[in-house]
Amino acid sequence: MNELAKELKSFVPGHAFFIGIDSDGCAFDTMEIKQKQCFLPNNIKYFGLESIAGYAKDATEFVNLYSKERGCNRYPAILSVLSWLAKRREVIELGAKVPDLKSLQQWVQAESQLSKSALRRVVEKTGDVELRNVLAWSEAVDATIESTVKGVPPFPFVRESLEKAFLNADIMVVSQTPLEALEREWAEHGLIKYVRVIAGQEHGTKTEHIALAANGKYPADKIMMIGDAQGDYRAAMENGVCFFPIVPGKEKASWQRFLNESLHKFLAGTYKGQYESALIKEFDTALPVTPSWG
């Protein structure tokens, strides 16, 4: 367990309730700009996809925006992007070479903390050329995000929801975005004052974030994860806690419902059961598993 994870484990409750909130695509409308203007050009540059740039665009956007993989950690995400590209009929017909990144696959399977710092350590230890390129890609993505993603506000009703929720709940950011970017974005918009802890990819997985910071410290029905992706849902289910979905494409309506209805039910102990199940059913049908061209 690294030092950041130990910080989560030592977290002391200040309220009877706990709410974890994802950041990109959930609290902030940053998914589109990050994937289309920051990840995509670097995906093409660092993995030699110039000859199939249009198809790389399709795969990048499908995996990270328009599929059930939305919101997953960047390292398994790029593996999925390349996998979909390699299987696409038009790419095969062109004879284009798509890297399979075997070293990255092995690292993702073996490493529990899928962060840039953990990747840097293995590159320094092994000198692996493929992983060195992946690290350069990851650093380039972060640099592009820092210079590009500015002034992107939270979704409507997020601020009001935080103002209302933090009176009764300890709020933690639960994300697979690097910590530096999370702290910058939440501070930029004056939302950091509502948050007790910010947990990024350096702290471990989202499931681990909730397990370390909340499990055993609050009753399960007083812990909630708010998210827009299947990874957020799994983090809640694997910890046996409540899940509130921010439905992709319906973010404003989702937050308005949370503010005006769902938060009250959660605090009143009436959220679990039929009400939560109906919300999850709507969420589950919002995104596909396979692309139209798959």
Check: CB of residue 255 under 8 Å from CB of residue 157: yes
Taking 70 as the threshold, does the pLDDT of residue 86 lie above it?
yes
Read off the pLDDT of residues 12-61 as tens digits, 9 standing for 90 and up: 999 999 999 999 999 999 999 999 999 999 999 999 999 999 999 999 99
Question: Picking from 48-52, 109-113, 231-235, 272-276, which range would have the lowest pLDDT averaged per residue?
Answer: 109-113
- Alpha carbons 101 and 234: distance in angstroms, whole number: 26
Check: CB of residue 149 under 8 Å from CB of residue 34: yes
Taking 90 as the threshold, does the pLDDT of residue 4 lie above it?
no
- Alpha carbons 294 and 36: distance in angstroms, whole number: 20
In this prediction, residue 2 has a pLDDT band, given cuts at 50, 70 and 90, of confident
Pick the CATH number of 3-29+155-284 from 3.30.1330.10, 3.40.50.1000, 3.30.530.20, 3.40.50.300: 3.40.50.1000
Assessment of whether the complete model's pTM goes beyond 0.95: no
Q: Quick check: helix, strand or coil at residue 24? A: strand
Read off the pLDDT of residues 193-202 as tens digits, 9 standing for 90 and up: 999 999 998 9
Residue 1 is predicted with a pLDDT of: 63
Total residues belonging to the chain:
294
Residue 293 is predicted with a pLDDT of: 83
* Rounded mean pLDDT, 131-137: 98
Check: CB of residue 270 under 8 Å from CB of residue 170: no
